[in-house]
Structure formats: structure tokens, C-alpha cells
Amino acid sequence: MASEEGQQHPLKIYWIMWVGLFVLSGFSYTTDFMDDGIVRQFLILAFMFAKAGGIVWIFMHMGWERPALKLAILVPPIFIGVLIWLMAIEGNYTELTRIEFFGESTFVPEEVHH
């Protein structure tokens, strides 16, 4: 009866990732002191994706999986993100087209008497 052993990763990888997450969190918190704007929003999202990617890659062992499994897990969210982006563009176009065609609404609701 042979004993099966799991794959053992060196602890150094986990410590490096933990320190990296700590540093990225520090950078993420410094965005609180920035003025609101596109740069701040971009940095918040960039740090968020970097931290999430590191957690998935190291702590969830995605870095050691087969390429087919990586693609099966990573490609669908990319397509969903592209579809959400396309819907946002289409929604803005539809709203602007309605405003141009119908003009601003002049509807004023009547008062209800009880």
C-alpha cells in the first residue's frame, strides 16, 4: 500500500505574497487621500485586481494548475466584463438618443386629493 503525498510548496512563496498583499493594501488605502477622478478610480480597481489575482494565483493554487483549467476559469469573466462594457455603452447611447428625439421631459405629476 503506497502512501500518497500532496504537492508541497515552499512557505517562502506564501510569505512573499502576504507581504505583497500588505504593500498593495497600503497603496490602495493611500488613494483615499487623492482627489476624486478617473485616476483614483483606475488605481483603486488596479490594486483590487492585483490583490485578487495574487490571492487566486498563490493561495488558491491557480499558478500550479493545468493551462486548460486556467482558461476555463479566467476566460468567462473576461467575456462577461466585455459584455457589461458593451451594455453600458449601448445604454448611454439609448438615453442620449431618447433625449435628443423626445427632448427633456416636461411631465409634472398632478396632486392627489384625498
Q: What is the spatial distance between Cα 34 and Cα 25, in angstroms, rounded to a whole number? A: 15
Task: Identify the pLDDT of residue 2.
Answer: 52
Segments of the chain scoring below 50 in pLDDT: 1
- CA dihedral (77, 81, 84, 88) in degrees, to 10, reads 170
For residues 71 and 56, give the distance between their C-alpha atoms in angstroms, rounded to a whole number.
13
In this prediction, residue 110 carries a pLDDT of 76
Grid cell, residue 89, equals 455603452
* Whether this model's pTM surpasses 0.75: no
Among left, alpha and beta (phi > 0; psi -120 to 50; other), residue 37 is left
**pLDDT of res. 67:** 85
Check residue 30 and give its pLDDT. 94
Decide if 28 contacts 51 (C-beta within 8 A). Answer: yes
